[in-house]
Amino acid sequence: MKWRRVRAITIKEALQIVRDPRSLMIALLIPVLQMFLLGYGISLDVKHLPLCVYDQDKTTQSHDLLHRFSASPYFDTRPGLHNYAEVGRGLDTGNCRLAIVIPTGFSKGLADNGGSTVQALLDATDTNTASLAANYARAVIAGYSAQVQLDAIQSRGGQMQTVTPVEVRARVWFNEDLISRNFIIPGVVAMVMAIVGSQLSSLTIAREWERGTMELLISTPVQPMELMLGKLLPYFMVGMLDACICLALAMFWFDVPFRGTLIALFFTTGLFLLVVLCIGYYVSVSIRSQVGASQVALILTMLPTTLLSGFSFPIDQMPPVVQGVTYLISGRYYVTLLKALFLKGAPWSELSAPIACLTVYAAVMVVLAARSFHKTLD
């Protein structure tokens, strides 16, 4: 391998990147756009659920209960409804995801100490949200019940022990505030890097075929490995610039805590970028059209990184076969590493296994991509 030739190709690619400022702008702006879109768009926190109430009782007690709902950050109480038809319409149109109906005699039941019921109607088209909403509603009502009980005992002049026999004291580690964004943003970074990296390199060989420059290029003594390294080097630079933008947005805009070392962060990001660049290059070699190559590269990198990296679905809850498949997904290692670095600040000893896997992965991809290119028109 001659560095003279690698250098010539790198300079040529860099010139072509610079000569095409529109593509360069896209390469730098798309990650920003995706970070904002996905960073804000994907949130697993259920907050501000639209809530409708149909208060048939209209007493102080029913008002107290409803007040607890409107005070909760999880619900947004909509103006009161006056009949079941309106409740049905509210759920149908999606105006409310949860409807609370307080029946007539609610306060009477409480006063008679016979107990009362409240009806909750849930829109379960999104089961996850529905079950979370049901739990939140139960918690609100349980809080109210406890208060009612306490008030009743106290009004009778009694004393009550408010000690629960066993109490759970949960202390949450790594994402203390349970902000799902902290958990999601590192995954978004991985996804954006997968998309950008593969898109950058997916055009590079296909373009030479489409413009007719490939025939001359392969008539020169340039070696497949030289061609690949020379071509990927400038895209690696652009990709790392994109990585810096994404990581800076994650830390400083989305305030995701960062507890690892920057060296580890950039090293692993570089490895992952190399993998996705090689995938894009491989596709570009196999599919000699720019449009086709970019589409296939997008699917090959974005889909597995989204679905199988542990970014959106926890790997340990997948069926064993699918879990096995995830070991073949480079995004799995990168997402693991990013979460470890951002949220845990894990020591090198813990990072070494996924880093080793990613290194092997990158080495294999470099060889595969370089060898996929044949200097022939046959």
Binding site for another protein (CB under 8 A): 2, 4-5, 7-9, 11-12, 15-16, 19-20, 211-223, 375-378
Identify the helix (H) or strand (E) that includes residue 294. Answer: helix 290-307
Question: CA 225 to CA 369: how far, in whole Å?
Answer: 9
∠ Cα 226 236 247 (to 5°): 165
Residue with tokens 């950008």: 196
**Residue closer to another protein, measured from CB, 131 or 220:** 220
**Which residues, other chains included, contact 144 with Cβ-Cβ below 8 Å and sequence gap of 6+?**
64, 65, 68
Minimum distance from residue 26 beta carbon to another protein (Å): 17
Sequence-distant contacts of 181-184: CB under 8 A, at least 24 apart: 181/39, 181/43, 181/45, 181/254, 181/256, 182/256, 182/257, 182/342, 182/343, 183/44, 183/339, 183/343, 184/38, 184/39, 184/42, 184/43, 184/44, 184/311
**Identity of the residue, 214 or 325, whose beta carbon is nearer to another protein in the bound complex:** 214
Rounded CA separation 275/159 (Å)? 68
Q: How far is the CB of 236 from another protein (least distance, A)?
A: 19
Cα–Cα distance between 335 and 345 in angstroms, integer? 14
Q: Minimal distance in Å, beta carbon 12 to another protein?
A: 5
Distance in angstroms between the alpha carbons of the first and the last residue of the chain: 24
Q: Which is nearer to another protein, 12 or 344 (CB)?
A: 12
- Tell the smallest beta-carbon distance from residue 220 to another protein (Å): 5
- Please, what is the minimum distance in Å from the beta carbon of residue 9 to another protein? 7
**Alpha-carbon gap, residue 209 to 120, rounded angstroms:** 63
Collapsed DSSP state (helix, strand, coil) of residue 48: coil
- Cα 141 to Cα 123: distance, rounded to the nearest angstrom: 19
Burial track 102-120 (b if 16+ CB lie within 10 A, e otherwise): beebbbebbeeeeebebee
Three-class secondary structure of residue 76 per DSSP:
strand
Tell me which amino acid residue 247 is: L
Question: Within a 13 Å sphere around the CA of 104, how many CA atoms are in the beta-carbon half?
Answer: 2
Query: Shortest gap between Cβ of 8 and another protein (angstroms)?
Result: 2
Burial 253-280 (b: 16+ CB within 10 A, else e): ebebebebeeebbebbbbbbbbbbbbbb
Nearer CB in complex with another protein: 181/231: 231
Kindly state the smallest distance separating residue 373's Cβ from another protein, in Å: 14
User: Min. distance of Cβ 214 from another protein in angstroms?
Assistant: 8
Tokens 């102080």 -> residue: 60
Q: How far is the CB of 376 from another protein (least distance, A)?
A: 6
Contact 192, 242 (CB under 8 A): yes
Least distance from another protein to the Cβ atom of residue 213, Å:
5
